[in-house]
Structure 1
Amino acid sequence: MNTIVASCACRMLRPSLAAAGLAAALTPGTVLADPPSTLYGLAWEETFSGSAVDTSRWNFRTDVKVLSAQLAANAVIDNGQLSLLMKQENVSGMSYTGAGVVSKQQFGYGYFEVRAKNTTNTGWHNSFWMMAGDGSNTYAAGRYLEIDQAEIETADQTHIPSGLNIWNGQAGTGGKLAAPRCATYAPGVNLTAAYHTYGADWREGAIDFYFDGIKYCTIAYSTTQYRQDPVNIWLTAIAYRAPVSVGGTPQYYDTVRFYKKDQYVMNGRYGYSESGSGWQDSTLAGFGLMPQRYSCTAGDKSTYAPGFNQSGSYHVYIWKTANANADTQGEVKVQAASGTTTTTINFATGSSGWVDLGVHSFNAGTTNPAIGVTNTVHAGCQRAGAVKFVREV
């Protein structure tokens, strides 16, 4: 069930930017909302400052869907902002063409944010959303979570539909497991008149939705019911519902940012590595129903070293998948700026879940594989699932 936040302690807005290079991308009198708390640090951003879309960072949306074909040529950079053009032309059996870009990088838990100014054209579906994919097909395999921060039908420029679509990861139009939605949010402004900031904070167990710094909705996303696979960022505009008009202003996006507070490292993702000859795929799922690896060879190691985007104290946990054949003396070492500690864990008994490894200090940019957590097989079979570093100060 989705929970609508009727009232909240709204975040403050800052009238100026810390980075002077971003100022040119903002129109006079506009603001950029802060992330949900001061514990969040900037991990990735795009200001569209070049002369063309940076194809080392973005794919183009090129599918054919609803009433339009999406063309790479319709996604252009105009005066420091991404401009998605909408045209009336016959392409691939459609009478209209739209556009979009999709980040090549994938993201996990964190705060996604974009500044946007809506098109004045009607009949279009303009969206800031997150889902696994490359833009060639919205029904490709590998998608599990779809975060629709803003799915605005441009016939109504005063309301913001938001919510989730939850998929089973298979290709095709079927496979939707659930679709919890927020109550449509009415911010009290016309979205074509000025830039506004749209945000979504994906954290363990839920997604929060923001508009200009105000949290207006929270939707649960269970880690025990649904997979926690990473997502790509999509900025798109497609023709959606007749009557469709063209010739008005484009859909504009001028700053995209991703902030992180906590660091999660799972098998198969950035920051995970293993050594030794015994590792193979496990049939037992780990945290967030994610696949795991296992080894029954003494001395084999799995290492979790995220490369921290900000310095600070982090509460460290390792995921335990309890199993009768598991290592009874698993050696778990935390190596941090504050020192090295070693904990012995019995993974064979008890229940599955996070095991507390204490609070440790880490420095930003510590990408050395030794900086983080190393789990060494001692006796039995050790499963490599996940480690999380929860920032405290």
Structure 2
Amino acid sequence: MNSIFASRARRTLRPVLALGAVAAAIAPAGALADPPSTLYGLAWEETFSGTSVDTSRWNFRTDVKALSAQLAANAVIDNGQLSLLMKQESVSGKAYTGAGVISKQQFGYGYYEVRAKNTTNTGWHNSFWMMAGDGSDTFAAGRYLEIDQAEIDTADQTHVPSGLQIWNGQAGSGANIGGPRCATYAPGVNLTAAYHTYGADWREGAVDFYLDGTKYCTVAYSTTQYRQDPVNIWLTAIAYRAPVSVGGTPQYYDTVRFYKRDQYVMNGRYGYSESGTGWLDSTLAGFGLMPQRYSCTAGAKAIFAPGFNQSGDYHVYIWKTVNANADTQAEVRVQAASGNTTTTINFTTGTSGWVDLGTHSFNAGTTNPAIGVTNTVHTGCQRAGAVKFVRV
């Protein structure tokens, strides 16, 4: 899954659940890199093919930060690319204006990728990054993980700073609790001269960083130490450090993609649902320190049905939170294209962690709530934390 792969021509894409419109304009020359392995399938794409930013899919960055105010008017579509304009104008007490867009959809584990060509203007901070938020403020409540795939200071167009910032989810700039970073990568080229493909693969326990198909860094992101909340995709340009210049080429972003290999379903996310009565919020955290739900009502069900972006075999696991009042006879049913199986699990014994439910085949696009895993309460209190489907 994590092998280094050479930059290759774009493959024929598999069917996906949610795609951007087909490009109407000819995209700039150069191919996207493949994801880390053939087990990854395309799950989301934006080609910026319209005449303006699609506001059903993107928010604008509108904060005031560093040396610029960010304006929606500065994010435009130019020949099938997102063009972020940089201007010298007085707005909200700043001498410059920048821009950015933030995906309305949130994403979890998977491979994030964009093609970009850097501005020739100096003094700007251009970034492809992932963090929870809507663009109105970079210090909003609810952010835990910040994946900085590329934070490029345009005074130096030959290096790619990357890494993580870790937050405690509270509002305010003082909530940072860590920042493991990569050694600044020097690809040996000037990033303004051509398009390059930037990628980040967030997987359970770590994030891998890529440029043009070459993995250059891995940073750990512990599931037992930090929350695994979903993130939004940010494409931004702000004035950052004097001297600042304008009048050169804009910051271009072209074709954003998100690939998934595995499917994770947790309480409160897409694919999770409940039936029966007695469901309440649990005080015990589950996988990735994520909140859980519980019910002590016999027959109540927690359902984990992700809707698969690609057909294939998946190794299935359910998260077990051990507790003295837990269900001693929890019925865990896997319903798949390959058949149905039922496992009885005692959640009062052993240690908390993933329980192996075997390998099963699933078909792409199955959104029937029965397709996936159903956890039924029998006796005691059952905590619904997470189920993962690992592509094999």
TM-score scaled by length of structure 2 = 0.96
Residue 70 in 1 paired to residue 70 in 2?
A: yes
Report the Cα offset of residue 32 of structure 1. Answer: 1.0
Residue 27 of structure 1 deviates from its aligned partner by: 2.3
CA distance in 2: counterparts of 1:145 and 1:25, whole angstroms:
35
Matches within 5 A, 1:352-371: 352-371=352-371
Pairwise CA distance, 1:320: 0.1
Letter in 2 for 1:27: P
Q: Does 1:276 align with 2:253?
A: no
Secondary structure of 2:288's aligned partner = helix
CA displacement 1:81-101 (0-9 Å, x = unmatched): 000000000000000000000
Q: Could you tell me how far apart the structure 2 residues matched to 1:327 and 1:338 are?
A: 28
Q: 1:294: which partner in 2?
A: 294
Shift in CA distance, 12/196, structure 1 to aligned 2, threshold 3 Å: closer
Say if 2:27 is the partner of 1:26: yes
Q: CA deviation at 1:25?
A: 4.4
Shift of 1:276: 1.0
Q: CA RMSD in A?
A: 1.5
CA distance in 1, matches of 2:374, 2:238: 47
* Alpha-carbon distance in structure 2 between the residues aligned to 1:23 and 1:14: 21
Secondary structure of 1:13's match? coil
| Pick aligned residue for 2:8 from 3, 13, 18 | 13
- 2:318 corresponding residue in structure 1: 318
Task: Tell me the amino acid that sits aligned with residue 260 of structure 1.
Answer: K
Structure 1 position 237 matched with structure 2 position 230 = no
1:285-304 Cα deviation digits (max 9, x unpaired): 00000000000000000000
Q: 1:352 Cα deviation (Å)? A: 0.1
Share of identical aligned residues, percent?
A: 84
Q: Secondary structure at the match of 1:288?
A: helix
Question: 1:245-256 counterparts in 2 under 5 A?
Answer: 245-256=245-256
Unaligned runs of 5+ in 1: none
CA 329–322 in structure 1, closer or farther in 2 if over 3 Å, else same: same
1:52 and 2:52 aligned: yes
What amino acid sits opposite 1:130 in the alignment? M
Q: How does 1:140-151 map to 2 (within 5 A)?
A: 140-151=140-151
- Structure 1 residues 23 and 41, CA, compared in 2 at 3 Å: closer, same or farther? farther
Question: After the TM superposition, which parts of structure 1 deviate over 4 Å for at least 4 consecutive aligned residues?
Answer: 15-25
The answer to whether residue 307 in structure 2 is matched with residue 307 in structure 1 is yes
Cα 1:210–1:137 shift into 2, 3 Å: same
Residue 38 of structure 1: aligned partner: 38
Q: Distance in 2 between matches of 1:25 and 1:220?
A: 39
Checking the alignment, whether the CA contact within 8 Å between 1:25 and 1:81 is kept in structure 2 is no
Q: In the comparison of the two structures, how many residue pairs are matched? A: 385
Q: Distance in 2 between matches of 1:64 and 1:297?
A: 50
Are the counterparts in 1 of residues 206 and 218 from structure 2 also a CA contact under 8 Å? yes
Q: Could you state the TM-score of these two structures normalised by the residue count of structure 1?
A: 0.96
Helix, strand or coil for the counterpart of 2:194?
A: coil
Distance in 2, matches of 1:247 and 1:120, equals: 9
Distance 2:234 2:141 in 1: 17
2:154 counterpart letter in structure 1: T
CA distance in 2, matches of 1:23, 1:261: 29
SS at match of 1:307: coil
Aligned partners of 1:130 and 1:234 also within 8 Å: yes
Whether the 8 Å contact between 2:333 and 2:374 is mirrored in structure 1 is: yes
- Matches of 1:388 and 1:343, distance apart in 2: 16
- State the partner residue of 2:176: 176
Q: What is the identity, as a one-letter code, of the residue corresponding to 2:5?
A: C
Q: Match for residue 163 of structure 1?
A: 163
Aligned partner of 1:106: which letter? Q
Offset, 1:16: 7.0
How far is 1:31 from its partner? Answer: 1.9
1:10 shift after superposition: 2.7
Counterparts of 1:375 and 1:270, CA distance in 2: 17
Tell me how far apart the structure 2 counterparts of residues 185 and 227 of structure 1 sit (CA, whole Å).
Answer: 27
Shift of 1:103: 0.1
Deviations 1:248-284 (A, max 9, x none): 0000001000000000000000000001111000000
Q: Distance in 2 between matches of 1:10 and 1:331?
A: 42
Residues in 1 aligned to 2:378 and 2:239: alpha-carbon distance in whole angstroms: 59
CA contact (8 A) 1:17 1:32 kept: no
How far off its partner does 1:21 sit?
A: 4.8
Residues 369 and 16 of structure 1: CA distance in aligned 2, closer, same or farther (over 3 Å)? closer
Relative to 1, partners in 2 of residues 1:374 and 1:87: Cα closer, same or farther, differing over 3 Å? same
Residue aligning to 2:205: 205
